[in-house]
Amino acid sequence: MSDSSGKRPAVKKGQPKLRSIRVQYAQPQELAAPGVDAALIADPADNTVKVEYLEDDSKVFQITIPAWASMAPPTMFDTLTVTHVQTGKTVLEEQYNRDDAADFPLLITFDRAQLDGWTDGDNTFRYEVLTYNGAHDVSDDLTLRFDRKPPYDKATPLVFPPIPDITDANKASVKLTLPVYADRADGDEVHWLWLKEKPEPGDDITPTGSVAVGVLPQEISVPASVIEGVGDGGVWALYVLSDKAGNVSRISLPQEVGVAIGPLPANLQPPLVAAADDGVIDQQDVFEGVVVQVQAFDNAKPTDEVRVIWDGVESEWREVGNLKTFPMDFRMTAKVVWDSYGASSTGEVAVTVGYEVRRGTVPQGGMDIEVMVNLERVGPVDPGPGPDPEWPDPVNPRLPLAAVYGKVSDTENTLLPEDEFEDARLLVHIHDSLQEDDQLTFYWDDAHLDTLDYELESGDIDDELELEVPWAAIAARGNGTVAVHYTVTRPGNPNVVSSQSADVEVTAIDIHPVQPEFLGGNTNPPIGWLTCGALYDDANPSSLDPAIRVQVPDLTEYGLTVGDTVKLCWTAVQGYVGDVPVDGVDLEEEITLTASNSKGFIWRVQPYADHILPIFHAAPPDHDGRGRVWYEFVKGGRTYKSEVEERMVSMHDASGSCPLRP
Span 406-428, pLDDT tens digits: 999 999 999 999 999 999 999 99
Whole-number Å distance between alpha carbons of 449 and 443: 5
In CATH, the number for domain 517-649 is 2.60.40
Rg over CA atoms, the chain: 55
pLDDT > 70 fraction of the chain, expressed in percent and rounded? 96
Beta strands 305-310; 403-405: pairing state = unpaired
> Residue 25: pLDDT above 60?
no
CA distances from 21 to 95, 519, 570 (A): 12, 154, 152
Burial of 167 (0-12, 13-18, 19+ CB in 10 A): middle
- Confidence category of residue 2, pLDDT binned at 50, 70, 90: very low
Candidates 2.40.10, 2.20.28, 3.40.630, 2.60.40; CATH matching 30-146: 2.60.40
- What residues contact residue 662 under an 8 Å CB cut-off, 6+ apart? none
Return the HEC string of 214-228: CCCCEEEECCHHHHH
Asked if residue 20 has pLDDT above 60, the reply is: no
What is the second-level CATH architecture of the domain 403-506?
Sandwich (2.60)
CA distance 436 to 458: 5
Q: How many whole angstroms separate alpha carbon 440 and alpha carbon 450?
A: 10
The H-assigned helical ranges of 521-612 are: 608-611
- Residue 22 has a pLDDT of 31
What residue ranges of the chain are covered by domains with CATH 2.60.40? Answer: 30-146, 171-259, 272-373, 403-506, 517-649
* CATH code of the domain occupying 272-373: 2.60.40
How far is Cα 369 from Cα 477, in angstroms, rounded to an integer?
Answer: 47
- Where residue 585 falls (left for φ over 0; alpha for ψ -120 to 50; beta otherwise) is alpha
Q: Is the pLDDT of residue 500 over 60?
A: yes
When the pLDDT of each residue in the chain is averaged and rounded to a whole number, the result is: 93
The C-alpha atoms of residue 391 and residue 395 are separated, in whole angstroms, by 8
The Cβ-side half-sphere exposure at 338, using a 13 Å CA radius, reads 19
pLDDT tens digit string along 198-211? 998 888 889 999 99
Average pLDDT for residues 5-30, to the nearest whole number?
Answer: 39
Please state whether the predicted TM-score (pTM) of the whole model is above 0.75: no
User: Number of helices and strands (H, E) in the chain?
Assistant: 8, 42
- Please tell me the predicted confidence (pLDDT) of residue 151: 98
Tens digit of pLDDT for each residue in 309-353? 999 999 999 999 999 999 999 999 999 999 999 888 999 999 999
Per-residue pLDDT, averaged over 240-261, amounts to 97
pLDDT beyond 50 at 550: yes
Pairing mode, strands 136-139 and 30-31: parallel
Host H or E run for residue 353: strand 349-359
Residue 387: predicted pLDDT? 83
Give dist(CA 585, CA 609) in Å, integer. 9
Span 143-171, average pLDDT: 97
> 175-178 and 121-130 as β-strands: parallel, antiparallel, unpaired?
unpaired
* Other CB atoms within 10 Å distance of the CB of residue 534: 25
Considering only residues 123 and 509, tell me which one the structure prediction assigns the higher pLDDT. 123
Name which residue leads in pLDDT, 434 or 5. Answer: 434
Q: What is the pLDDT of residues 570-620, one digit of tens each?
A: 999 999 999 999 999 999 999 999 999 999 999 999 999 999 999 999 978
Q: How confident is the model at residue 5 (pLDDT cuts 50, 70, 90)?
A: very low
- Dihedral of CA atoms 98, 99, 102, 107 in degrees, nearest 10, equals -80
> In this predicted structure, what is the pLDDT of residue 29?
52
Q: Which long-range contacts (CB under 8 A, 24 or more apart) does 436-440 make?
A: 436/460, 436/461, 437/490, 437/491, 438/378, 438/488, 438/489, 438/490, 438/491, 439/488, 439/489, 439/490, 439/491, 440/465, 440/486, 440/487, 440/488
Q: Report the relative pairing of strands 175-178 and 403-405 from DSSP bridges.
A: unpaired
Which residues are registered as beta bridge partners of 487? 441, 498
CATH of domain 171-259: 2.60.40
Query: What's residue 21's pLDDT?
Result: 28
- At residue 4, the pLDDT reads 37
385 band by pLDDT with thresholds 50, 70 and 90:
confident
In the predicted structure, residue 8 carries a pLDDT above the cut 80: no
Residue 194 has pLDDT above 90, yes or no: yes
Residue type, 643: E
Asked whether 355 and 367 are in contact (CB, 8 A), the reply is yes
The CA distances from residue 91 to 83, 128, 337, in Å, are: 5, 12, 81
Mean pLDDT of 628-654: 93
HSE of 317 in the Cβ direction (CA atoms, 13 Å)?
13
Tell me, what DSSP letter sits at residue 463? S
